[in-house]
Amino acid sequence: MTEKNLKTELANVAFDSPLLNASGIHCQTADELADLAATANLGGIVTKSATLLPRQGNENPRYYDLAYGSINSMGLPNLGYPFYLDYVQKEEAKPTILSVAGLSADDVIEVLRDVQNSDYQGLTELNLSCPNVIGKPQTAYDFVATRKVLERVFEFFTKPIGVKLPPYFDLVHFDQIAAVLNDFPLTHVNTVNSVGNGLVVDIEKEQVVTKAKGGFGGLGGAMILPTALANVRALRQRLNDSIAIIGTGGVTTGADVFAHILCGADMVSVGTQVIKEGLEVYDRLTQELQEIMDEKGYTSLADFRGKLQEL
């Protein structure tokens, strides 16, 4: 097998691999973040989506493993943004993406003002799409509200920042969100967050499998791959070329990573499969991706990125 160039870039930040962890997966504590920093085939580290104040999240059980993926209702548990902002300013092993979220627009602005005023010069990602905070809608499903938040952010924020989006299911919605995002100097979009709100039923017990919200939760893993690929493809066709894409959702094999990049993803993050398999999954995915590239005669990601053919 010939040597493959798996390097990629996001907002002029160089990554040795296109693979990332999905925010929320093995990235909440100092020990978990240290594990990611030591993972050889992981290109960069995405922090847990950090809120203004620390959060315990929803009650347990809040994650349930399925043969075809997972359902969760985590509710943004995190240690509060000062912890993660401190971490990304000290991390030297890998490039970082600081994920931030808010329970209100005012919370978001307060967090991002501190990021702006800090010494951190890396990438930030504004999570507009958590489906599991009780009583709080996903901002990015409201296109007017999304525009208003971004207008407030870019009144003062000058550092590289992207947004994490929920899945969209209608072609008109792709048009509408792209029309908003293209008006701002975003570095990237991360698509998709978990697919809310699903419901899993335990037939033997005749009950739901997670506690919060009566069992409704975000779906992830293999079953959402077609939805994730559709969102990567549709947004790549509509967004400014200057806005990169992180493809998230459904990755279980190197072929899935290849498909995300073929649809237009610059990087690919892995969530549920890390829980199922551990951080060793990145070694396997890298090997499988390289084997596919070798079979096709590709030596770099640029050889096939965004080159999906239509019938």
- What letter would DSSP give residue 247? E
Segments in 140-296 forming alpha helices (H): 143-153, 171-181, 225-238, 254-262, 272-277, 281-296
Helix axes 225-238, 254-262, angle to 10 degrees: 20
130 is known as an active-site residue: yes
Report yes or no: 215 and 240 within 8 Å, Cβ to Cβ.
Answer: no
Looking only at Cα atoms, what is the longest distance across the chain? 54
Question: How far is Cα 123 from Cα 188, in angstroms, rounded to an integer?
Answer: 10
* Catalytic one of 6, 33, 130, 229: 130
Exposure class string for 8-42: b at 16+ Cβ within 10 A, else e:
bebbebebbbbbbbbbbbbbbeeebbebbeebebb
Question: How far is Cα 47 from Cα 79, in angstroms, rounded to an integer?
Answer: 11
Tokens 């998230």, located at residue: 248
Q: Is 24 left (phi over 0), alpha (psi -120 to 50) or beta?
A: left
The torsion angles phi and psi of 222, rounded to 5 degrees, stand at: -50, -35
Q: Please, which residues have CB within 8 angstroms of residue 205's CB and are 6 or more apart in sequence?
A: none
Question: How far is Cα 233 from Cα 259, in angstroms, rounded to an integer?
Answer: 10
Tokens 């019938």, located at residue: 311
Q: Which of 21, 32, 162 is nearest to 84 (CA)?
A: 32
User: Which residues are marked as active site?
Assistant: 130
